[in-house]
Amino acid sequence: MSCHDCLSRREFLTKSTLAVAGAAAVVAGCGDGQIGPTAAPSLNGSLTLKVSSVPALATVGQLAILPSDGSVAVKRTGAATFLALSTTCTHEGTRINLLGNNSFECPNHGSRFDADGNVTRQPNAPGNASHLLVYTTTYDAATDILTVSALPG
């Protein structure tokens, strides 16, 4: 039986090797292979809120995640002072989760941060995490309005 369009063994192995190499290149370009959350949104512009509308901010030292997309964590540091942190992991940009009321953990590679944004555990993957981005805060005690600005603090 003759075949005019059949591949020789050599042609088959050559084309198969090229196909496998191409597939490997595509997979390598798709990130670190981890299955997990996508990049988290960050604060654009500014966020304004009435402090009394967020019960967690009545207590000094307690963290609250704001706004509805969870892109900012705010902590009261004194009677009229606040700290605002990005909730985006500095390792690969994943949204971090609040653990209790005093620390954060990244669900992607396990980086941990304390309530001030300091790294307490590096990721369990190549690369490093750094201090969480700190946003500028302005508080007007007369109106009880806190403004968080996207400009780094």
Angle at 152 between CA 94 and CA 110, to 5 degrees: 25
What is the rounded distance in angstroms from the CA atom of residue 123 to the CA atom of residue 138? 32
Report pTM: 0.71
Count CB-CB contacts under 10 A for residue 54. 16
What is the count of structural domains for the chain?
Answer: 1
**Domain presence at residue 130:** yes
Instruction: State which residues form the domain around 74.
Output: 46-152
**Domain presence at residue 68:** yes
**Domain presence at residue 58:** yes
Q: What dihedral do alpha carbons 132, 124, 92, 113 form, nearest 10°?
A: -10
**Domain presence at residue 36:** no
CATH of the domain at 100: 2.102.10.10
**Domain presence at residue 74:** yes
pLDDT in tens, the chain (153 residues): 566 667 677 776 676 665 555 545 444 444 444 444 445 556 777 889 999 999 999 999 999 998 777 889 999 999 999 999 999 999 999 999 999 868 999 999 999 999 999 999 999 999 999 999 999 999 999 999 999 998 765
**Domain presence at residue 7:** no
**Domain presence at residue 20:** no
Residue with tokens 């992991």: 89
**Domain presence at residue 37:** no
